[in-house]
Amino acid sequence: MHRRFVNVLAVVATVWSFSSVASESQQYQNPILHGGFPDPSICHDGEQFLLVNSSFEWFPGLPVHSSNDLVNWTLIGNALDRPEQVQSAVNLVDVQSEGGIHAPSIRCHQGRYYIVTTNVYLPPEPGAHAQMVNFVLSADDPAGPWSDPVVIDGAVGIDPDILFGSDGRLWYVGNQAPDNPSYPGEGEIWLQELDPTTFQLKGEKHLLWRGACGGTWAEGPHLYEVDGRYYLLIAEGGTSFEHAVMIAVSDDITGPYRSNPRNPILTSRHLSYDNWVNSTGHGDLIRLPDNRWYMVALGIQNKVNRASNMGRETFLLPVTWEREPHWWLDDPVLWPVVSPDTGRVEPSYRAPYGATPDTPKHWVADFSLSDLGPEWLHRRASKPAYSVDVDREQLVLSLNQSWLRQRAPSGFIGLRQQTQNFVAETTLEFEGDVGAAGLALVQKDDHWVRIGVVNEGSGTWVKVQYQPGIKEGRPAPAAITLGQVSIPLDKKVSLRLESSAAGYEFFVKQQDWEPVATLPADALLSRGYTGAVVGPFGHGESASASSGVARFSDFRIEWSR
């Protein structure tokens, strides 16, 4: 007990010292990662902070960011960036929408980096059950290259974490449905030792906890050693308005675990649906080198109708630790308190290191390099037929592929939408056979809007086409043409997409910018799982092969809040 009392004094002294100078520091704005970056996990390697997020069916997957101040983040690579990593047991080639890579954890230990995560794959056969494959990646450099996946045999469930214990053992913690569940979606957290060489489970499996509210979607576990005890942090309540972060504690890593009587320690379930951010949860704790603490968590901004086209984003919150003030306890527990002044996610806080946060800015694609940057995404691991013409500084998209289809590659490549308000522009020309090409904003295979040049028997048109999302149990509706303008095909065409809370506006430039169509702001709202991706597309109007290409001589985005 004396040792724990001394430890907490050190933590309190650190927090007091920080608060005495924090009033002069800069503010940072939430979210700290803009766009579809859900399920954040964080670690510190002694020099830099590292953060990884879910990527689902998008590829490359498992984006890894680096920061020196917890506020300004740089995408340094993707842990899954080679198609051969995801073609067998970990299948992202024909993965279904909202399948793929779920809830990774990133950890560093003795100079090496580890990511453990789940791939959720639903076979296309009718009546098939989802296959959940848990695997480990490792690297000497967080920027990569990362190893091929090592599948953990017998690891059921999703959202795993690993803990390198102070006893030298490596532990795996995951979730599963309990035997004879009381209701669909009930979950429990389990633990088992992991061989540090083979990354295979060994020893006895231990059932730890069913959460603080009956195990409703108990998932996303993280395990920590603090103050001589083991803390189990989980997500619970589902990833919508009832999402929450719960925590339990044990003197032994294998349990039993005692729930914090003040759970949840982070949620928006008690706030108005119209709060500026909702569905907050799925947290991961980080101890700074000076013993301050923070949490990264996901949330959905209330941009339009209590939702956001960016989906779930990454937020940063300060954390303090307080010991239970109950005099009758022999050994009161130290518990984390998230966002201690208000208990909820705030739009801004004092920056941990006084850093001035970067603001959204003008972004221009660099087509003078043969490789596109790590921020570029495409649907699934089948690479679209694109190249970069360095001499002419153009992105070249082949027109011998199809438009978006379930479980299939497509002629689309883009970047995560970062803000509700933005302007995207590109200029394109055709070479050889003409198909369709332009700008698209894509949520899913069945939910998108695009402005493009389309060649038809009646002529060449700039069309704005919208695909409403498929309603469960209903057939897919046909894409709707919202507007069109006839154009000649013997010159370059410039296209523009403007997005705001008022809606979407689409323009074509022949001599001056000319409006083509509009779309209400809520027509492309995310269902909350992932965010939209904006970028160039090019494909043939039929399934037959084409020798034509679309050449994009620029692609630029102006992000603004």
**d(Cα 297, Cα 281) in Å, to the nearest integer?**
6
Nearest to 534 by CA among 542, 543, 524: 524
**d(Cα 134, Cα 102) in Å, to the nearest integer?**
10
pLDDT number for residue 24 = 43
Catalytic, 39? Answer yes
SS (H, E, C) 481-536: EEEEEECCCCCCEEEEEEEECCEEEEEEECCCEEEEEEECHHHHCCCCCCCCEEEE
pLDDT number for residue 121 = 97
pLDDT number for residue 350 = 95
**d(Cα 507, Cα 464) in Å, to the nearest integer?**
9
List 57, 81, 193, 219, catalytic entry: 219
pLDDT number for residue 118 = 98
Catalytic, 242? Answer no
- Topology of domain 362-560 in CATH is Jelly Rolls (2.60.120)
**d(Cα 442, Cα 265) in Å, to the nearest integer?**
35
> What are the pLDDT tens digits along the chain (561 aa)?
333 433 433 343 333 333 333 444 589 999 999 999 999 999 999 999 999 999 999 999 999 999 999 999 999 999 999 999 999 899 999 999 999 999 999 999 999 999 999 999 999 999 999 999 999 999 999 999 999 999 999 999 999 999 999 989 999 999 999 998 888 889 999 999 999 999 999 999 999 999 998 889 999 999 999 999 999 999 999 999 999 999 999 999 999 999 999 999 999 999 999 999 999 999 999 999 999 999 999 999 999 999 999 999 999 999 999 999 988 888 899 999 999 999 999 999 999 999 777 776 889 999 999 999 999 999 999 877 899 999 999 999 999 888 998 898 889 999 999 999 999 999 999 988 888 999 999 999 999 999 999 988 778 899 999 999 876 556 667 899 999 999 987 778 999 999 999 999 999 998 899 999 999 999 988 766 789 999 999 998 654 556 789 999 999 999 987
499: which 2 tokens?
């997005």
pLDDT number for residue 357 = 72
pLDDT number for residue 13 = 34
Q: Are 373 and 510 in contact (CB under 8 A)?
A: no
Nearest to 442 by CA among 413, 420, 473, 471: 413
**d(Cα 266, Cα 180) in Å, to the nearest integer?**
29
Write out the DSSP string of 112-129.
EEEEEEEEEE--SSTTPP
Q: How many CA atoms lie within 13 A of 461 on its CB side?
A: 13
Same fold, 2-350 and 362-560: no
465: which 2 tokens?
């086409």
- Topology of domain 2-350 in CATH is Tachylectin-2; Chain A (2.115.10)
Q: Are 498 and 484 in contact (CB under 8 A)?
A: no
| Domain residue limits, the chain | 2-350, 362-560
